[in-house]
Structures are given as structure tokens and as C-alpha cells.
């Protein structure tokens, strides 16, 4: 996580200044890890396919994704960006890098994004993804992907507003 300067999101241009004040976005600190770890586990459980839920427990999935995230954050370039208002975390975005499966070209992956419910609809996620894009550009990456559950309307809406388009859609069949 070294080498990434804190990004100060100036949101006054979109008219939210009076709501958000001066929000700062920067790399996650170790004190923020329990908060990120709990939320990433909660989001992960929501993404577990219904037929697989009977095979595992939320605790099992939590342990797996938290271990994965710690492993990812130990690799150069990957970063968890945290948005803070008056020093308190209100949202985060995990930015990772991986080779495209067909070309091997390095791509960015927005691994997880979360905004505290009280702060939603105010542009926090958009500020986070803009900061994530700046980091990806600085890493020389030209394409960013993200996985979104097909029923997650807020996240789908945010992604489209953020300039994303659907690439491939994953289908599943329950046996």
C-alpha cells in the first residue's frame, strides 16, 4: 500500500459540499481493518448462491474472504481505499490487479465496495471509484472490471452512472 498518496475528493463541483464537507480518501489503516473485514464478509455471504448456502456457514465464508483479502492486500499495487469524514470511515473500495484471462494483460478489479447506509446516495461510492480509477491509471492499467449481483440495483445503477457497461453475464443452473 506504499506509494499511494491520499486522494482528496473535492465534491463541491457536484453540489454535495454542504452534505459531505471535505471527505478524504486514502489507504486503509490497520485500525480500520476490523470494520472492512466484517463488511466484506457480510457482502460475500450475500453473493453466495442459494444452493451452496446449505453447504457452508457464514463464518466459513467470512474466514475465507478475509484471508483472501489479506493475501490480496499483501501484493504490490493492491489497495483498500477508505473514504473518511472527520476521520471516521464511511466507505471503502478494494482495488486489485490481475491478468486478463485471454490476453494476460494486467487489468484492474474493483473487488469490493461498501458505503455506510447513512452515507448512501451522496456520491461517496462515486468518489471512491474515481480515486480507484486514478490509482489504476497510475499503475498503467487501461481496463477495470467489477462483479455485481444481478439483483443489486443500487450497485448496478452506480456502475452504469460510473461509465461501466456489461461485458459478459455469468449464468448458473441449479442441479
Q: Which is nearer to ligand COA, 3 or 121 (CB)?
A: 121
Phi-psi category of residue 24: left, alpha or beta, with phi > 0 → left and psi -120 to 50 → alpha: beta
Q: Which stretch binds ligand COA (CB under 6 A): 17-25, 26-34, 50-58, 152-160?
A: 152-160
Query: Smallest distance from the beta carbon of 104 to ligand COA, in angstroms?
Result: 25
**Ramachandran category for residue 47: left, alpha or beta (phi over 0 → left; psi -120 to 50 → alpha):** alpha
**78-92 burial string, b = 16+ CB within 10 Å, else e?**
bbbbbbbbeeebbbb
Of 150, 21, 44, 41, nearest to 90 (Cα)? 21
Q: Are 9 and 21 in contact (CB under 8 A)?
A: no
Residue placing its CB nearer to ligand COA in the complex, 68 or 126: 126
Question: Site for ligand COA (CB under 6 A): which residue of 1, 33, 43, 48?
Answer: 43
Cβ neighbours of residue 37 closer than 8 Å, sequence gap 6 or more: 62, 66, 69
Contact 46, 149 (CB under 8 A): yes
In the set 120, 130, 139, 145, which binds ligand COA (CB under 6 A)?
A: 120
Q: If binding is defined by CB under 6 A, does position 124 make contact with ligand COA?
A: yes
Paired with 8 in beta bridges are: 24
**What's the closest the beta carbon of residue 8 comes to ligand COA, in angstroms?**
17
Minimum separation from the CB atom of position 94 to ligand COA (A): 10
Q: What is the contact mask toward ligand COA in residues 58 to 97, using x (rule: CB under 6 A)?
A: ----------------------------------------
Per CB under 6 A, contacts with ligand COA among 156-175 are 157-158, 161
Q: Which spans of this chain sit near ligand COA (rule: CB under 6 A)?
A: 43, 113-115, 120-126, 148, 152-155, 157-158, 161
Amino acid at each position: 500500500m506504499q506509494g499511494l498518496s491520499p486522494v482528496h475528493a473535492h465534491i463541491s463541483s457536484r453540489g454535495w459540499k454542504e452534505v459531505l464537507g471535505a471527505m478524504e480518501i486514502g489507504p486503509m489503516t490497520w485500525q480500520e481493518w476490523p470494520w472492512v473485514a466484517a463488511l466484506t464478509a457480510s457482502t460475500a455471504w450475500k453473493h453466495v448462491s442459494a444452493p451452496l448456502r446449505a453447504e457452508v456457514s457464514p463464518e466459513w465464508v467470512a474466514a475465507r474472504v478475509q484471508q483472501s483479502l489479506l493475501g490480496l492486500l499483501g501484493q504490490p499495487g493492491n489497495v483498500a481505499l477508505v473514504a473518511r469524514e472527520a476521520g471516521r470511515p464511511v466507505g471503502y473500495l478494494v482495488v486489485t490487479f490481475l491478468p486478463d484471462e485471454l490476453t494476460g494483460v494486467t487489468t484492474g478489479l474493483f473487488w469490493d465496495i461498501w458505503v455506510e447506509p447513512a452515507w448512501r446516495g451522496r456520491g461517496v461510492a462515486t468518489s471512491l471509484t474515481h480515486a480507484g480509477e486514478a490509482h489504476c491509471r497510475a499503475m498503467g492499467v487501461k481496463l477495470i472490471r467489477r462483479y455485481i449481483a444481478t439483483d443489486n440495483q443500487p450497485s448496478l445503477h452506480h456502475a452504469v452512472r460510473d461509465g461501466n457497461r456489461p461485458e459478459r453475464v455469468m449464468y448458473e443452473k441449479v442441479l
